[in-house]
């Protein structure tokens, strides 16, 4: 797809660019090299929806940045500083604090995954005694 003249810097232009990149990734045998700088929407969709395999690029500079990030996070936690989503909740719970970081992280992951369903969750044999899906009610 091409961008119409005069719309090169528009939202439509960005969207078409991402769509074109997604189509290229979708039909590629390539893996996605995560380098800490170049992740884009098309790549995330290609991994999440089309089976593109991501891997962390084998680069000493990337490893150094990851180690440095961990050190900064550890420093913040050791000093009792607030780190959103690490020692706080999310959203409306962001003002809650805890010293039980591992338990909080597990709870946050469970919370963010609570609405994730798979195709087998919607299978016709997965119904309760009222004939409703065990995950979500029938709509319509």
Residues 6 or more apart whose Cβ sits within 8 Å of residue 40: 18, 21
pLDDT tens across 59-77, in order? 999 889 989 999 999 999 9
* pTM beyond 0.85, yes or no: no
pLDDT tens across 34-50, in order? 898 889 999 999 988 88
pLDDT tens across 70-123, in order? 999 999 999 989 888 888 877 887 888 878 888 888 887 887 777 666 665 655
Q: Which one from 84, 92, 95, 120 is the annotated catalytic residue?
A: 84
| Annotation marks residue 27 as catalytic | no
Smallest CA-to-CA distance from 13 within 5, 122, 23 is with 5
């Amino acid at each position: 797809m091409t961008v119409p003249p005069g719309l090169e810097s528009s939202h439509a232009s960005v969207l078409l660019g991402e769509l074109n990149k997604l189509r290229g990734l979708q039909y590629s045998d390539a893996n996605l090299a995560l380098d800490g700088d170049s992740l884009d929407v098309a790549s995330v969709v290609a991994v999440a929806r089309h089976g593109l395999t991501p891997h962390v690029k084998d680069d000493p500079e990337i490893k150094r940045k990851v180690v440095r990030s961990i050190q900064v996070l550890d420093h913040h936690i050791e000093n009792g500083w607030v780190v959103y989503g690490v020692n706080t909740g999310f959203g409306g719970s962001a003002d809650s604090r805890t010293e039980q970081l591992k338990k909080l992280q597990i709870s946050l992951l469970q919370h963010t995954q609570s609405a994730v369903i798979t195709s087998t969750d919607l299978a016709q044999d997965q119904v309760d005694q009222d004939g409703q899906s065990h995950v979500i009610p029938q709509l319509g």
